[in-house]
Amino acid sequence: MASNLGINPLTINLDPEGGGSKLQAISVAATLRRALVMGTNQEGLLILMIQELYERFGITQEDRQTWTRKPPHLGNLEEAIDARAEGGCKDAKALQIKLAATFQYGVFSRSQIDLSAGKLVRVDLSKLPPELGAIAAEAILKQVMDSHRLAGESPALKTFVFVDEAKELKGSKTLDRITADGRKYGLGVVLATQRETHISPDVLANTATKILLPVDVADIKKVASRFRFDAGRIANLGTFQALVRTGGTAVACTIEPFFKRQA
């Protein structure tokens, strides 16, 4: 909450084939619905109100020249919801309650962080409630993926996104899309999580390299099945040991801990 920077989920995707204000409104409403467990009526009202916001800011789906204009942020959406709720709209009042914490933190109403390619950017979402962290992370991933798609196909990797505590992005459609199509546009991703249940089947199937650290005894059989490692080898992993597979063969490795490495 002390930061003067934030992330704006309403930033427009400039891709002529998959961008614009209408598609962004649908995408943002779907993200909020998944993170905050909204009903159909609330999601529909959100789409409508976000589209109205874009139009107030002079951004329309039909005129691509307007997509580069400064977009609204969720603070503007809060004002619009409050106004509609004061007018007696029950669904708007329900949205006020659902989005209260989202608006209170102010993360989505500040100046957008610079996610330009070629820069090292670390975004710390650990102090946010899990639901808000998931919304912010989804918005960041989508913007990075959109910018790489807009730049076109690339023979080499230009950007890597590292996601720690990937459990907060379980069910992320954008993460599935990055692992499926990101390499084509020069975008790679590295995920770290403590449980195999946090990783979707699509992400697992489209990830080339798997690194497995020691796991709880109760999870050995499930991990062996999903990651195609030998259960016996998993059970024998000790401290600072890992199994690594790129392709078909799993290799046992010893990890040099960070505190032993030279600067």
pLDDT per residue as tens digits for the range 110-131? 988 888 767 899 999 988 888 8
pLDDT digits (tens, 9 = 90+) for 68-89: 999 999 999 999 999 999 999 9
Read off the pLDDT band of 263 (50, 70, 90): low
| CA–CA dist 189, 14 (Å, integer) | 22
Whole-structure pTM value: 0.86
Q: Summarize the confidence of residues 11-24 as an average pLDDT.
A: 92
C-alpha distance across the termini of the chain, in Å: 32
What is the amino acid identity at position 89? C
Q: Are 117 and 81 in contact (CB under 8 A)?
A: no
Q: What percent of the chain has a predicted confidence (pLDDT) above 90?
A: 67
* pLDDT tens profile 129-179: 888 999 999 999 999 999 999 999 999 999 999 999 888 888 888 999 999
pLDDT digits (tens, 9 = 90+) for 198-231: 899 999 999 989 999 999 999 999 999 988 899 9
List phi, psi (to 5°) of 232.
-65, -40
Give residue 240's pLDDT band: very low, low, confident or very high (50, 70, 90).
very high
148 vs 164: CA distance, rounded Å: 21
The model's confidence at residue 257, banded by pLDDT at 50, 70 and 90, is confident
Q: Report the candidate in 89, 96, 108, 106 with the shortest Cα–Cα distance to residue 8.
A: 108
Q: How much is the pLDDT for 167?
A: 87
